[in-house]
Amino acid sequence: MKIMALLILFLFVQPDALAAGKYEIEKLNDLVFKLPILVKQKSTGKKQTMVLVHGLGTKASVSWDPISDELAKHYHIVTFDLPGFGQSLGELGVPPSLESYSALVMRIVSEYAKSKIIFVGHSMGAAIGLRFVSQYPHLVDKAVFMDAAGILEKAAYLKFLTRMERNTPVKSLFAGLSNILSDVAVEIFDGFSNIEVIKGLMHKNTDVNIAINLIETDFTNDIENIRAKTLIIWGAKDLTAPPRTGKMLNFHLMRSKLVVLPEAGHIPHIKTPNKVAEIIQQWLESPKLDEYQFPELGDQSFYCKTKELKEPMSGSFGALVFKGCSNIQLKNLSARSIQLEDSVATFDNVKIVSDQVGLTTSESSVLATNLVIEAPLGIQSKGSKLDLAGAIINYTTAPIKGSNSLVYWSTSFQTQNGQLTKTIHKKQIVRK
């Protein structure tokens, strides 16, 4: 258990940042956390305030130094060390959590902001931002979320962490750990459903406590509630926060734009600060939003038997059938039904409209982001593993039936005849 907690901590922590121009620095005595909070400002003469909220790691707000000078050319910058990080240390009056940190941001905004703010958060800071922007919409003009950590259902997220590529720095430090932390180990960790049990192992470690809190939190309602225009920035090579999370957020946030940086990892604002600052400033000046439409339904059928597919599939289809096939990649696709038998598939932005069963799986594995199904029976699954992030299942009979299947639902929605019946963010074992 301690090894898993330390792995999560290591993945979230940021390296040293570069030096930046001088801040105006002061300590704010917070009556809730009962300790002085280090608060830093730049360009106090600017009219609009931009609040920067850091991720995990001892450097805290220093992680914004590579980018803060450029942003300060346009905005009044306010950043700070969250309680338990950087120079905001001491015995905490309340436990660190997304709720308590979100409330602290509100108090800092009330004290320092000159306007409705532009919220900018990275990693943990972006997760805090989801909660803050949802809870205090009257304080927010626009939001920028970079490589938000957590968000996915906890077991689905931990599985992502344990399947990192072997040539990563994390892999070299934790040699062999991704093999040891198998599906079984993740399920054991997932079995500790009471967060207090896990936190008790390292009760004085703020990093570990808030990291566990991140992966335990359901952000579904926050995502539904946010109305502010939002820019989402993600590194395509992020090994800490899976890029599919950015796609899910962009699909479900009401007004958003996703920018994926092809060569970036988890800390694009440190590795490529000028590029990130340019993206942020250009978007804030002209906040274009993404609009997504699925392809029209088609009638072309496709049958695959015992082979590895070489290219992704996109477009309009009727029935898709895969038997004994691997490397199935369905992207920006509509179909009248999809059947998988002894196959492995990845779905990105797939819609199924059927008059019977939408998705049928047997002894198969599916990783799906933004899967939409409209059918009397959404999913029929036997002996399969389904990892569904941002799914919408609109059914008349049932969202899912089957046997001996494991489903990880992350920020997903089940509706019956168009009426929401359940938001779901948990592991489900499907039995007869």
Read off the pLDDT of residues 109-130 as tens digits, 9 standing for 90 and up: 999 999 999 999 999 999 999 9
Closest CA to 219 of 49, 392, 424, 372: 424
If 0-12 CB within 10 Å is exposed, 13-18 middle and 19+ buried, where does residue 143 land?
A: buried
Task: Give the pLDDT score at 368.
Answer: 98
Low-confidence ranges of the chain (pLDDT < 70): 1-21, 162-204
pLDDT of residue 282: 97
Domains of the chain: residue spans and CATH: 2-152+188-285 (3.40.50.1820), 302-430 (no CATH)
Residue 244's φ and ψ, nearest 5 degrees, are: -60, -25
Q: What is the pLDDT of residue 19?
A: 40
Global pTM reads: 0.88
- Characterize 50-71 residue by residue with b for buried, 16 or more Cβ atoms within 10 angstroms of its Cβ, and e for exposed: bbbbbbbbebbbbbbbbbbbbb
Distances (CA, A) of 416 to 346, 376, 397: 26, 9, 8
Q: What is the pLDDT of residue 8?
A: 46
* Cα distance between residue 60 and residue 75, in whole Å: 21
pLDDT at 224: 95
CA distance 262 to 235: 6
CB neighbours of residue 417 within 10 Å: 8
Residue 190: the pLDDT is 52
Residue 384 confidence (pLDDT) = 97
User: Token pair of 387, please?
Assistant: 């990892």
